Chain A
């Protein structure tokens, strides 16, 4: 039947239907732009599309080409991600140096540019040159949160494929049918996941530590209202350690990768090159992980105050994200003031935008907890 590689992607029927049609028609564009929120399957779909473009059976998912593509080790697949905060001109030059060559295996060359919005101006302009002179065998897949993140001259050369938040029912169905999760747990996870299937899956990882963490954070939030200042600071400290506490695994993996790579370096100069490259990549992985964790914690906090607000307005618990805590929500919603709730949600939005770049997360959590005291 073909295109089996897409079977694992949940709740993106429109995008997948479109891509399958493209594959069938063989009218392949030189560039696609996958836009949508983090965690809804854009990266996974990009790899699946890359596999389908080169698989003799249109993406069977089993042949050597499909498997190597999905693992990211196919020689004609290039994956570019930010090094540091940006995708730099050096990365685009390196790409140009490698795609000047005809394909290794005689099929298409697929270039995936993840977080394409993080290309700085120089990098964008360099990429534009490459997009302006497309070679027959090249297919670019850019991934971004929105079309506006890119230069109009770049986005106008791409076929835009929107990715949406996954409907709650679709996540529940996947959890129950494929993962054997019971209905009420699946409902709880689907509500928390905010329409991103990868978040839902994360909830199941590591014996559900994320679910436990959520419980801890919610219990902190339940008692912060009206508490003394010292208490607010101690909650902020607890939130911060939740955000940065889980790096040991990653650090261990990175250390191993560094050692293994340096061991086989061809010369001291090659060693210096590897060290420099990997250091940048590792720093990026760490800061990315940290910002994902901070965002995850902010999601939990904002879901709580959003629920209070929703309950005040509707007095119904079917719309609640944290429906499993509906009794407390009912109680607290009665006492909270609407202006304070909307203000908290607005401030969380602000913190979220700033925390990736300039703001020290510790200070951000302290500021937030002082506000939460007053709700």
Chain B
């Protein structure tokens, strides 16, 4: 194998592929990037959960393949001047030769035969949608997914396609985020649980062409055990999570007695100020009283903080407390002008959503306070 490309292009693609490599593996082959030169030049990396395949712009002098240690590849490419790079496999030496202007490196390679085969997603159902739609939903929900491996299903994002709609759901049982959007193409119903890591990775994909052109489509293919996302010569394949997603709809209350409206930035700034006192996620209290929302926190060790926010409210006095980090996560997902903040009693979940928009909601469990 021999390929020639620009250093910056190769380095960028090596960086992208490296994101599939896990630092929780002791198998040397999984710290490698497979370089194949056939019709195109591709880089492949995998941790057996998620695989990334990315195409490199360049010339193929001789077809072939090799597996190079990712870290070494990054270090070498970084050190090279911004010029054309030639990468050439030296089969007799069991090495790959990298040259750029007057610099030359020979590095030992790993065996391509040991590299895991990529799963074939055959007979798969497919759907196409705008990457921006996918990324928007992903950003809104992904923080709510659980990181507790003992609750496997909740470490994933529920991805649901139905009736020209895409929906993503995430919960760690302390909060629940649901986001949906319309898409242009008609799809058969699909419901899968996707590792949060893969959802994040797909949302980071960059359209290669000028973004002013009509937006290229993200193609999604489903098999029973894996799914695949393709866009512009960039592919993410991920295994799905087994099991049944909990019936989250049941958690969402149908009506609320207390609803206030205010700009999310104002609410966020206030909660953030109060939360500086609330180390270790001490709950932040929200006290609703006519025309005022009083946000406060107190800890025995540090002291107390309190701030009043004028609101339009004429109901009874009510109080509820939340973990400030979870509350701020939800607010951060709302970019609209006005957020609706709904609650009922100190023991029932509160809800944040953009005003006049039912495509996103963020439900958050209250914290009991003494």
Q: How far is the CB of A123 from chain B (nearest CB, A)?
A: 13
Give A142 Cβ to nearest chain B Cβ, in Å: 21
Asked whether A97 lies within 8 Å of B71 as measured between CB atoms, the reply is no
Q: How many angstroms from the CA of A73 to the CA of B114 in the assembled complex? A: 9
Whether the pair A267, B23 counts as a contact (CB closer than 8 A) is yes
Chain A, 242-273, contact with B by CB distance < 8 Å: what is the 0/1 string? Answer: 00000000000000000011011111011001
- Among A102, A135, A137, which residue has the most Cβ atoms of chain B within 10 A? A102
Which of B27, B114, B149, B195: most chain A Cβ within 10 A? B149
Which residues of the other chain, A, contact B32 by a CB distance below 8 angstroms? 264
- Contact A104 B31, beta carbon cutoff 8 Å: no
Cross-chain contact of A261 among B26, B116, B150 (Cβ < 8 A)? B26
A75 within 8 A of B: yes
Interface size class of A (residues with CB under 8 A): 20 to 34
B119 within 8 A of A: yes
| Contact among B31, B150, B225 with A93 in the assembled complex (CB-CB below 8 Å) | B150
Of the candidates B24, B27, B240, the one having the most CB atoms from chain A within 10 angstroms of its own CB is B24
Q: Which residues of B have CB within 8 Å of A73?
A: 114
Contacting residue for B223 out of A106, A267, A269, A270, CB 8 A: A106
**Which of B223, B226, B241, B242 has the most chain A CB atoms closer than 10 A to its own CB?**
B242
- Indicate if the CB atoms of B225 and A103 lie closer than 8 Å: yes
A103 to B239, CA, bound (A): 7
B70 adjacent to A266 (CB under 8 Å): yes
Asked if residues A101 and B242 are in contact (CB atoms below 8 Å), the reply is: yes
Closest partner residue, chain B, to A258 (CB atom): B26
Contact call A264/B69, Cβ cutoff below 8 A: yes
**Structural contact, A106 and B119, CB atoms closer than 8 A:** yes
Q: Are A102 and B23 in contact (CB under 8 A)?
A: no
Measured CB to CB, the closest approach of chain B to A81, in angstroms, equals 14
B153 → chain A closest CB, angstroms: 7
Q: A101-B195, A101-B240, A102-B225 are in contact. Are A266 and B24 (CB under 8 A)?
A: no
Q: Is the CB of A101 within 8 A of B71?
A: no
State the CA gap A93–B166 with chains docked (Å): 33
Residues of the B chain whose Cβ atoms lie less than 8 Å from the Cβ of A263? 28, 69, 108
* A102 x B224 contact (CB < 8 A): yes
Bound complex: CA of A370 vs CA of B158, how far in Å?
69
A96 touches B149 (CB 8 A): yes
Q: Name the one of B72, B195, B225 contacting A264, with C-beta atoms under 8 angstroms.
A: B72
- CB-CB < 8 A to A129: which residues of B? 150
Chain B 47-64 interface 0/1 with A at a Cβ cutoff of 8 Å (1 = within): 011000000000000000
Rounded to whole Å, the gap between the CB of B119 and the closest CB of chain A is 6
> Is A213 at the interface (CB under 8 A from chain B)?
no
User: In the bound complex, do residue A106 and residue B225 qualify as a contact, i.e. CB atoms below 8 Å apart?
Assistant: yes
- In contact, B225 and A277 (Cβ under 8 angstroms): no
Chain B residue at minimal CB-CB distance from A101: B239
Q: A274 in the interface, Cβ–Cβ < 8 Å?
A: yes
A125 to chain B, nearest CB (A): 12
Given contacts A104-B226, A135-B242, A261-B26, 11 further A-B contacts (CB under 8 A): A93-B149, A96-B152, A97-B152, A101-B195, A104-B116, A104-B225, A106-B224, A137-B242, A261-B28, A266-B31, A267-B71
A–B complex contacts, Cβ < 8 Å, 19 sampled? A97-B149, A97-B152, A98-B49, A100-B242, A101-B195, A101-B240, A101-B241, A102-B225, A104-B225, A106-B225, A129-B150, A260-B28, A261-B28, A263-B28, A263-B108, A264-B28, A265-B71, A266-B71, A269-B23
